[in-house]
Amino acid sequence: MIFDKLFKKKNKQVSNRRLTLDSPEGWSTGQTLFGGAELQAMKLPAVNACIEIIADSIAKMPIFIMDSQTRERVVDSPVLDLLTSRPNEIMTAFDYFKLMESRRIAYGNAYAIIIRDKWGIPCELLPVEAGYMTPFIDDKGKLWYVGTNPKTGEYRKFWACDIIHYKAFSTDGIEGVSYLKRGAMVIEAALQSQKYEKNFYANGARLTGVLTTETDLTSKPDIVTEDGSKISIKDAIRASWDKIYSGADNAYRTAVLDFGMKYTPISASNKDAQFIESKAASIEDIGRLFNIPLYKLGVGTQTYASNVQASIEYMQRTLSPIVAPIEQEDTYKLLTIDQRTRLNLQIRRNMMGELRGDWASRADWYRTMSDIGAYSVNDIRKHEDDPDVEGGDARKASLNYVPLHMWEDLSVKRNEGGEQQ
């Protein structure tokens, strides 16, 4: 079948980039760069941190369903229970959304099969491993998905409305492109720097340099080793030297030179190799790739004021563009047509949850919204997951500002009141 060929082709492309932390090789993007070395992006702490930061931010956001016209929240909903308790029998809501966001970033696409009850209401969400679900458009222009149900092992074609699909940046609107693929060159350069640093510390603690002698070694006969093979005298001297002085265990040993040999060290300090500068540059580039503020990665000049501003920008520039399509996808595929059109319901996320650790920013936000009359005390307590209090529904507003068309009358009355006194 054409679907079998399509599925096998897709599986072959992604066979080396399944999401797993079992292998010490880390998380592979499937990219082959620089002489065929496979890119192991998750071995970079900065990349790992960026994925963790974004995935945790998305996973911890409170989810609610509201009427888009009245802004009233819907409390009793099986879909809401599914999204806030256990999307499936194995995962908590946090685990589910963190996994989905991690896959969206790492592979460009995150898929979940919607299992419905006999009334068509979603009752379970099953994440599908990368490479086991493929979108395609048939000859009539209709979108379908071909993949395997992870619970039953059944391979089949799915309606688009039965597949949750979160995608990263897309060039065709159908499939997303992995963050790691887009930043492969940046990440590979950082990996090469990391390998160079590892080799520096692994080998730099020993004596490194050039052994010289006035004797012409090329005229010397080869040396027969214990296994009967022959090596040149140069290779024998080099092997003997490395055996005695290589590795951290042999660091700072005193060298004893025979036969008029001289050792000329060739060493480089961390400053000369510019480790700090190169590592900072690679972390900054990785931070830009993921739109992560540098203070979250532990680099850059950090002050309280700048970090507060960076937190706001992180919500606006990084999280908001991720949350918006997720809300739209969930609303369209998890709610019925009647709920979306007649009841005007939407599935939303409260991004204020991201500021729960920033007391000052939250206090300033609530104070501003309260002063302009947008929030009541109970509105604020609702955002903090606290119960309502008596009299907390009243809103207040400052009397220092009045509409312009009333300004002249109020000014005259105030002046008249002052004259009477």
Secondary structure class of 290 (helix, strand, coil): helix
Least confident interval from 6-15, 78-87, 172-181, 364-373: 6-15
Tokens at 55, concatenated: 């995935």
Predicted confidence at residue 167, as pLDDT, reads 95
Find the mean pLDDT for residues 314-342. Answer: 93
> What is the residue-wise DSSP string for 195-250?
HHHHHHHHHHTS--EEEE-SS-GGGSPPEE-TTS-EE-HHHHHHHHHHHHH-SGGG
Give 144's strand partners.
136, 159
- pLDDT at residue 366 greater than cutoff 70: yes
- pLDDT at residue 158 greater than cutoff 90: yes
Q: Please tell me which residue, 221 or 290, carries the higher pLDDT value.
A: 290
Tokens at 215, concatenated: 């004797």
What is the distance between the alpha carbons of residues 396 and 404, in angstroms, rounded to a whole number?
Answer: 20
Domain boundaries, the chain: 1-206+269-357, 209-266, 359-421
Predicted confidence at residue 191, as pLDDT, reads 59
Of 135, 57, 51, nearest in space to 353 by CA:
57
pLDDT in tens, 173-229: 999 988 877 777 666 665 566 566 566 555 544 445 666 666 666 666 777 777 777
pLDDT in tens, 6-53: 444 444 444 444 433 334 344 344 444 333 333 355 446 788 888 999
pLDDT in tens, 238-258: 777 666 666 555 555 556 666
